[in-house]
Amino acid sequence: MNNFQYVRAADLSGAAQFASSRDGVSFIAGGTNLVDLMKYSVVHPTALVDLNRLSLHEITDRPEGGVRIGALVTNSNLAYHPVISARYPMLSRAILAGASPQLRNKATTGGNLLQRTRCVYFYDPAVPCNKREPGTGCPAKEGANRILAILGTSVQCIATHPSDMCVAMAALSAIVQVTGPSGDRSVPLADFHRLPGEHPEIDTVLSKGEIITAVDLPATGFAGNSAYVKVRDRQSYAFALISVAAGLEIVDGFITHAGVALGGVAHKPWRSAELEQRLLVGKPANRNTWHDFQTALLDGAQGFGENDFKLKLAPVTLVRALEQAAHEGETI
Amino acid sequence: MINEAAVERHSALAVETRLTVNGHAHTLYIEPWTSLLDLLRENLRLTGSKKGCDHGQCGACTVLLDGVRVNSCLCLAVMHDGAEVTTIEGLGGETHLSPMQQAFVDHDGYQCGYCTPGQICSAVGMLREGHVKTEADIREQLSGNLCRCGAYPNIVAAVKHVMTAAAAGEGGAQ
């Protein structure tokens, strides 16, 4: 790990000002990913601004019926919070399907949004990687790409976003609250992470000095009919090969509202609200509907060798999650 | 014993940090890149917590930070000013084993013993969290602690024993 300056942030504006006026500054909260990346010499911040003393630890009700999750709420506290487990069960399940208890006790909501890909080439400074060092190349496309993307890839990068939490938040239409040198703004989670395109080194739409303060969930939590299905190489403590967060509202056998997102397939949680409107809403909650929807959502998927199996695994995982969500609570 | 002289001001970047470790208060000058694990082992000579992978993958470094189990290898010590840390040494010693330590001995919950301090701290933290009801829950909730010897069945038996005893009111959950 390189040497760096350490600063304890006393307030948001001071933290944003410090980070925006210097090069190479990172914010740190739980540190479970950032410290690891520093140990591997993947990132080399000149200074760390510790956000933990800021008042962003609360989960509060919103006037419109949703909840606001402070950026410093730990993954454990979020998953086990009675409001979240009762009203947004797919978010609790997604978080508890990720990492280990020790990591979840430390990792934060804001940090989880900002965690980096687990592509093995990104993590190894001895080899080229366009995400770590732009312009050096991408050995992953012809290499060890078992965990990597099949959708939204670019010539430069086929990395996946590793989060479980973000997949559920995408399906829930969460909004990320951000503050920074240019003021406050709200970013839909669907737009928060980028596709790699020409600039795989940039993961999100955050600009220099911007800080995540909260994630808002709307009132609709799909508590009655939701599922989080995660397929991985071992049953616990492993990143997703494919994961699906599925939420449905069903009236008299017909879908009235839906939110469905995939993890393990792209540089960001993969969701299409437009396809949900066209192929799920108003349709009967049955396998024909799931089939039409998964075919459209996975259109254009492409494997790179080791990850070709995902082309078969993604559709069946999607169907399983939708089926499970549609029949949640039913006695068969 | 506690070698605070070794934690003197090393550089201009060192940060004053107060930590209570196993009940002993320390005021330390810590370089920001020092992990809590390295501070415990190298500066405070508490070598019970183990550096297995140093990347948060094996759990051998697990300690209780303000009562909550964490991977000390991924904690920067300066970030925990004012915190209370409990390591395996703070749970009990040779003449006064804690219930969880005694259960690991009684159930032979180890072979080489390298992962054991982390397993025990993790198990104590897990029971405090209160989300475990079944044997499957124990296995899931201890998945952040690897045992290369594969002593898992006996580890689960030890934890189950303490959990059952605590439920029956035979002393604390530790």
Q: How far apart are CA B44 and CA A316, in angstroms?
A: 53
**Three-state DSSP state, A81:** coil
When pLDDT is cut at 50, 70 and 90, the band that residue B142 belongs to is very high
CB-defined contacts A:B, below 8 A: 86
Say yes or no for a CB contact (<8 Å) between A48 and B68.
no
Q: Which residue has the tokens 């909650």?
A: A285
> Element (H or E) spanning B171, and its range?
none
Which pLDDT score is estimated for A332?
55
Which pLDDT score is estimated for B13?
86
When pLDDT is cut at 50, 70 and 90, the band that residue A307 belongs to is very high
Tell me the residue length of chain B: 174
Q: Which residues of chain A form beta strands (DSSP E)?
A: 5-8, 25-28, 47-50, 59-61, 67-70, 175-180, 183-188, 211-217, 226-231, 242-251, 254-263
B72-124 pLDDT, tens digit each: 999 999 999 999 999 999 999 889 999 999 999 999 999 999 999 999 999 99
Say yes or no for a CB contact (<8 Å) between B35 and A3.
no
Of A283-297, B6-20, B42-56, minimum mean pLDDT range: B6-20
Q: Give contacts of B56 with chain A, Cβ < 8 Å.
A: 32, 36, 100, 102-103
User: Across chain A, how many H-helices and E-strands are there?
Assistant: 12, 11
Residues 212 through 251 of chain A touching chain B, CB cutoff 8 Å? 236-237
Q: How far apart are CA A165 and CA A154, in angstroms?
A: 24
Task: Please tell me if residue B64 touches chain A, with a CB cutoff of 8 Å.
Answer: no
Which pLDDT score is estimated for B172?
52
Say yes or no for a CB contact (<8 Å) between B13 and A5.
yes
Task: Please tell me if residue B4 touches chain A, with a CB cutoff of 8 Å.
Answer: no
Q: What is the dihedral of CA A199, A202, A204, A205, to 10 degrees?
A: -70
Which pLDDT score is estimated for A330?
83
| Percent over 70 (pLDDT), chain A | 99
Q: How far apart are CA B35 and CA B162, in angstroms?
A: 31
Please name the member of A1, A6, A236 whose beta carbon is closest to the beta carbon of B15: A6
Q: Give contacts of A8 with chain B, Cβ < 8 Å.
A: 81
Task: Please tell me if residue B55 touches chain A, with a CB cutoff of 8 Å.
Answer: yes
Please name the member of B13, B54, B125 whose beta carbon is closest to the beta carbon of A3: B13
A203-248 pLDDT, tens digit each: 999 999 999 999 999 999 999 999 999 999 999 999 999 999 999 9
A170-215 pLDDT, tens digit each: 999 999 999 999 999 999 999 999 999 999 999 999 999 999 999 9
Q: Give contacts of A3 with chain B, Cβ < 8 Å.
A: 11, 13, 31-33
Q: Give contacts of B13 with chain A, Cβ < 8 Å.
A: 3-6
Residues 113 through 142 of chain B touching chain A, CB cutoff 8 Å? 122, 125-126, 129, 131, 139-142
Q: Which two tokens stand for residue A174?
A: 């969460």
Please name the member of B56, B122, B129 whose beta carbon is closest to the beta carbon of A36: B56
Global pTM value: 0.96
A255-265 pLDDT, tens digit each: 999 999 999 99
Say yes or no for a CB contact (<8 Å) between A105 and B33.
no
- Chain A interface, best mutation among B63, B68, B74, B81, by max A CB count within 10 A: B74
Q: How far apart are CA A241 and CA A160, in angstroms?
A: 10
User: Pairing mode, if any, of strands A25-28 and A254-263?
Assistant: unpaired
User: Pairing mode, if any, of strands A211-217 and A175-180?
Assistant: antiparallel
Q: Give contacts of A2 with chain B, Cβ < 8 Å.
A: 33
Domains and CATH numbers, chain B: 4-90 (3.10.20.30), 99-167 (1.10.150.120)
Say yes or no for a CB contact (<8 Å) between A100 and B139.
no
Helices (H), A233-309: 273-279, 287-297
Q: Chain A: nearest CA to B125, how far in angstroms?
A: 9
Q: How far apart are CA A219 and CA A140, in angstroms?
A: 40
DSSP-assigned beta bridge partners for residue B68: B65
Hey, what CATH topology would domain A226-326 get? Enolase-like; domain 1 (3.30.390)
Cβ–Cβ < 8 Å for A227, A321:
yes
- Chain B interface, best mutation among A102, A108, A123, A234, by max B CB count within 10 A: A102
Residues 13 through 32 of chain B touching chain A, CB cutoff 8 Å? 13, 15, 31-32
Dump the DSSP string for B37-68: HHIIIIIS--TTS--SSSSSSS-TTEEEETTE
Say yes or no for a CB contact (<8 Å) between B143 and A237.
yes
Q: How many CB atoms lie within 10 A of CB B112?
A: 10
User: Pairing mode, if any, of strands A47-50 and A25-28?
Assistant: parallel
Q: Give contacts of B71 with chain A, Cβ < 8 Å.
A: 32, 102-103, 106
Q: Chain A: nearest CA to B72, how far in angstroms?
A: 9
Q: Give contacts of A84 with chain B, Cβ < 8 Å.
A: none
Say yes or no for a CB contact (<8 Å) between A100 and B33.
no
Task: Please tell me if residue A302 touches chain B, with a CB cutoff of 8 Å.
Answer: no
